[in-house]
């Protein structure tokens, strides 16, 4: 019954519809666009440097002859993958750590929350900025892990406080008296009852991770050359003279970034309204 109510609210919610349409269009553009593009993102046209948008290069070219359309779609792909992976890892980590701390209590709670407090006071941006250039030549998945490592602590505290209440519910006490292991109780009874919070958190973490990746890449601390992301493309085209003289280098990746973050946030707001028990829609 609850799933039907939530689905009905999602269908009726304009924000969710617009957000889903936006994300689907961006996914199609990112993964279908390269098949119809006349150039690959790694191709160079040495006869067209800083060429404006035209029939040969739809979104113009870069200072090295790269196709802006192909490069931007490649950057969009990278930002999408990083955003979704970081959100999945950080929300999963927050769920497991918070639920374990709240359910087991005692020394488990003290140790886990001490680790959470330690990570909260560390300057995450500075640490990632220092470590990420040292990963140059390695897999970009290490950069994903760095971003996810500093994005779950506040949610884990919320999960812990909610678990403290859930562990006293009758069905949890019954499962405990039946001798079911604690981790199985957490996975079967605690986390499913926190699914509303976790779904919303994961959705909003996508946009947060994309903005974080873009910010770090903008300053040269994120995705490393020769690969590209929306952040590196925006950085390459963000010079004062470049924006004025060659606006296509900046406008296309920046426009896709704004559209992506806005669409994800609309989905998150719609999910929050649909999953809110107090909503009357």
Residue 78, pLDDT > 70, answer: yes
Q: What confidence tier does 2 reach under pLDDT thresholds 50, 70, 90?
A: low
Residue of 129 and 169 predicted with greater confidence: 169
Taking residues 20-34, what's their average pLDDT? 92
Q: What is the pLDDT of residues 107-152, one digit of tens each?
A: 999 999 999 998 888 887 778 777 776 666 556 777 888 888 888 8
Say yes or no to pLDDT of 69 above 60: yes
Burial class (CB in 10 A: 0-12, 13-18, 19+), 246: buried
Mean pLDDT of 76-88: 90
Helix (H) / strand (E) element for 159: namely helix 153-166
Both tokens of residue 229? Answer: 């992301």
Compute the mean pLDDT over every residue in the chain, rounded to the nearest whole number. Answer: 84
- Six token digits for residue 29: 């553009």
Task: Read off φ and ψ for residue 89, nearest 5 degrees.
Answer: -70, -45
Question: What is the mean predicted confidence (pLDDT) over 93-106?
Answer: 92
The span from the first CA to the last CA of the chain, in angstroms, equals 15
C-alpha–C-alpha distance, residues 130 and 117, integer Å: 21
CB 21 within 8 A of CB 27: no
**Phi, psi of 61, rounded to the nearest 5 degrees:** -130, 165
Q: Name 61's bridge partners.
A: 67
Report the alpha-carbon angle 242-262-271, nearest 5. 165
Please check the confidence at residue 206 and state whether its pLDDT lies above 80.
Answer: yes
For 44-166, where are the alpha helices, taking DSSP H only? 68-104, 106-121, 124-131, 141-149, 153-166
**Residue 132 near residue 189 (C-beta atoms within 8 A):** no
> Which residues make Cβ contacts (< 8 Å) with residue 148, sequence separation at least 6?
85, 86, 89, 90, 93, 209
Predicted confidence band of residue 65 (pLDDT cuts 50, 70, 90): confident
What is the rounded CA–CA span in Å between residue 30 and residue 132?
A: 25
The confidence score (pLDDT) of residue 112 equals: 93
Read off the pTM.
0.84
Report pLDDT for 207.
85
| Per-residue pLDDT band at 172 (split at 50, 70, 90) | confident
The predicted model gives 28-56 an average pLDDT of 87
Quick one: average pLDDT of 25-45? 89
**Partners of residue 67 on adjacent β-strands:** 61
By the 8 A CB rule, do 244 and 95 touch?
no
Instruction: Indicate the DSSP class of residue 244.
Output: H
pLDDT surpasses 80 at 181: yes
Q: How confident is the model at residue 94 (pLDDT cuts 50, 70, 90)?
A: very high
Q: Is pLDDT at 222 greater than 90 in this prediction?
A: no
Could you give the percent of the chain with pLDDT greater than 70? 91
| Burial (Cβ within 10 Å: 0-12, 13-18, ≥19) of residue 192 | exposed
CA distance 205 to 81: 13
Q: Give the three-state DSSP class for 113.
A: helix
Residue 72 has pLDDT above 90, yes or no: yes
Q: What is the pLDDT of residues 225-250, one digit of tens each?
A: 778 888 888 888 876 667 788 888 88
* Predicted pLDDT of residue 178: 86
């Amino acid at each position: 019954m609850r799933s039907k109510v939530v689905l009905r609210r999602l269908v009726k919610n304009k924000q969710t519809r617009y957000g889903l349409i936006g994300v689907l269009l961006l996914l199609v553009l990112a993964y279908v666009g390269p098949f119809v593009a006349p150039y690959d993102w790694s191709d160079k046209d040495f006869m067209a440097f800083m060429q404006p948008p035209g029939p040969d290069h739809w979104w113009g070219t870069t200072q090295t002859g790269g196709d802006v359309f192909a490069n931007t779609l490649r950057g969009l792909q990278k930002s999408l993958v990083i955003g979704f992976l970081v959100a999945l890892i950080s929300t999963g980590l927050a769920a497991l750590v918070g639920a374990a701390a709240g359910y087991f209590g005692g020394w488990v709670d003290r140790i886990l929350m001490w680790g959470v407090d330690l990570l909260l006071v560390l300057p995450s941006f500075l640490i990632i900025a220092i470590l990420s250039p040292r990963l140059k030549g390695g897999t970009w998945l290490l950069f994903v892990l760095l971003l996810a490592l500093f994005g779950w602590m506040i949610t884990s505290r919320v999960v812990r406080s909610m678990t403290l209440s859930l562990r006293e519910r009758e069905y949890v006490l019954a499962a405990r008296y039946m001798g079911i292991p604690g981790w199985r109780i957490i996975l079967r009874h605690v986390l499913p009852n926190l699914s509303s919070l976790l779904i919303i958190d994961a959705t909003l973490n996508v946009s947060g991770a994309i903005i974080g990746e873009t910010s770090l890449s903008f300053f040269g601390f994120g995705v490393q050359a020769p690969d590209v992301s929306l952040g590196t493309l925006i950085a390459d085209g963000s010079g004062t003279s470049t924006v004025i003289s060659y606006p296509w280098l900046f406008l296309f990746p920046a426009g896709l970034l704004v559209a992506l973050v806005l669409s994800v946030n609309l989905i998150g707001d719609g999910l929050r309204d649909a999953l809110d028990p107090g909503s009357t829609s």
